[in-house]
Amino acid sequence: MNKALFLYELLRMRRSLATKSLLIFAIIAGFYSIWSGLAWQESNYASLIQYEEQLQEHAAKWRADLVAIENGESESSPYSARPMDIQLPAVHKTGSLSHLAIGMNEILPKRIMISPRRNGMSMVEPYEYDNPMTLLFGRMDFVFFVTIIMPLLLIALNFDVIASDRARGLYKMLLSNPLTESSIIMNRMLARSGLLLVIVMVALIYGLMVAENVSITAATAWIILVGAYFLFWFGLIFLLVGRSKKGVSSLSKLVSFWLLFVLIIPAASNSISTYLFPQPSKLELLSDARFASSEATKRTAELTQNFLEDHPELTIGDDQVPGYYRALFLSNSVVENNTQPIVQAFADSMHDREDMLDVLQYLSPTTIMQRSLIALAQTDSRSHALFMQAAGQYLDKINETVEDQVLSRNRITVSTFDQIPMFGDIWMATAKPKISIIGPFLFMLIFGLLLIGSSKMKLVSDSGE
């Protein structure tokens, strides 16, 4: 009987123009979101690769000059192959699934020029060339589709699963058969929602397959999270449609829950965590850096004197090299030291906020999903903070390598330069945070099952009455 009901519902769906329209919309929106993300990712990667190539070309030219000088060929100018002019790229390419979850990646800096001329504050070149209006409008990636559009489609497909029959009196006729109220709703909802789940999963699997180097673990994590999120909404709709006598009342309630879970709680959670743990002022950081830089410039002579007193062996150098190089290097060290506390405050504030959101996210499965998926795609703030930290370490490493030679106005050797690693090696060696989806997955799964279970119990007891 259940199977017959399920098949009957599928037949009804075939005849319903509204249902067909919704499912076609789901197919278009799902695949469009993946295509849109792929287009963005391709352009992003191409841009980063071009940037890397540009700087690597510069580094190769710099090295060729150094080789020529070491080989005794005449230097083209006193400035040739000076260690202060080393420029190496550090780029944040994010995970291969970033086309599914663009996250913060569109607005945060992704390319850094690592050079002894820069300090931690100035190593990020200006990158704010995007149209702010298009950033404001946002993009429709797969996370947007699955967390915001999918639940509403599920509501639209199911809100009148039983109410219309109740209104027409068909429901009592159905109940005269050996069927429970919950099994009628469940079978109908399974038929109505099943196709949507298939569409979502096919779109997701397509999105996973077109990505390069996706691990089975990451792909599985995406699939089970989307499945659990679907189950949560299925459970909520199951609970509410069974209790509503009228389709309109069920629709109003479901849309209200959608608003609450999808829009209001995530927005409020984000605003509250930002309010309680505000990011330190970047403008204050700027003021500190400028003050430190100004003071260091004033004290250049003193700083140089102190250094040379500590390192008398480094006093001999090439007088043709401007003192500006040495002054800039020393000034960068001072700026680095003086801005360290506020840079640390930035990191602490971000971690505090994220820790709070780790708790607040359980107020809404949508928040859980959005945070988990962008973390899996490495397009979240934590992943970016790690990239900035790795870039800072890379800069420190290069500075350590060239320090003595810059301050003594000498060049480094080719073999010393060749020992400088590429940023990719540093990034690979950086310990990435473990992203556990067990908690979010179990929460949504249990929540969804509880909603279905409690609804079944209520409907069975009502039928008993």
Residue for token digits 């490493």?
397
Contact 233, 156 (CB under 8 A): no
Asked if 350 interacts with other proteins (CB under 8 A), we say yes
Query: CB burial class (10 A; 0-12, 13-18, 19+) of residue 414?
Result: middle
One of 2, 16, 87, 297 touching other proteins (CB under 8 A) = 297
Contact 435, 375 (CB under 8 A): yes
Q: Which range of residues in 123-131, 168-176, 445-453, 456-464 is near other proteins by CB under 8 A?
A: 123-131
Asked if 389 interacts with other proteins (CB under 8 A), we say no
| Length of the chain in terms of residues written | 465
One of 11, 24, 170, 286 touching other proteins (CB under 8 A) = 286
Asked if 371 interacts with other proteins (CB under 8 A), we say yes
Asked if 370 interacts with other proteins (CB under 8 A), we say yes
Smallest distance from other proteins to CB 159, Å: 8
Of 105 and 182, which has the nearer Cβ to other proteins?
105
Asked if 436 interacts with other proteins (CB under 8 A), we say no
Site for other proteins in 130-169 (CB under 8 A): 130-140, 143-144, 147-149, 152, 156, 159-160, 163-164
Phi, psi of 112 (to 5 degrees): -135, 135
Site pattern 239..278 for other proteins (x: CB under 8 A):
-------xxx--xx--x---x--xxx-xxxxxxxxxx--x
Site for other proteins in 15-34 (CB under 8 A): 18, 29
Residues contacting residue 400 through CB under 8 Å, at least 6 positions apart: none
Q: Which H or E element spans position 20?
A: helix 17-70
Binding residues with other proteins: total (CB under 8 A):
88
One of 6, 31, 45, 346 touching other proteins (CB under 8 A) = 346
Sign of the dihedral through C-alpha 125, 130, 131, 136? negative
Contact 360, 274 (CB under 8 A): no
Under DSSP, the state recorded for 88 is E
Asked if 49 interacts with other proteins (CB under 8 A), we say no
Asked if 54 interacts with other proteins (CB under 8 A), we say yes
Q: How many CB atoms lie within 10 A of CB 147?
A: 23
Of 12 and 246, which has the nearer Cβ to other proteins?
246
Return the percent helix, strand and coil in the chain, to nearest 5: 75, 0, 25
- Nearest 5°: CA angle at 167, between 252 and 176? 125
Q: Which range of residues in 105-113, 228-236, 397-405, 447-455 is near other proteins by CB under 8 A?
A: 105-113
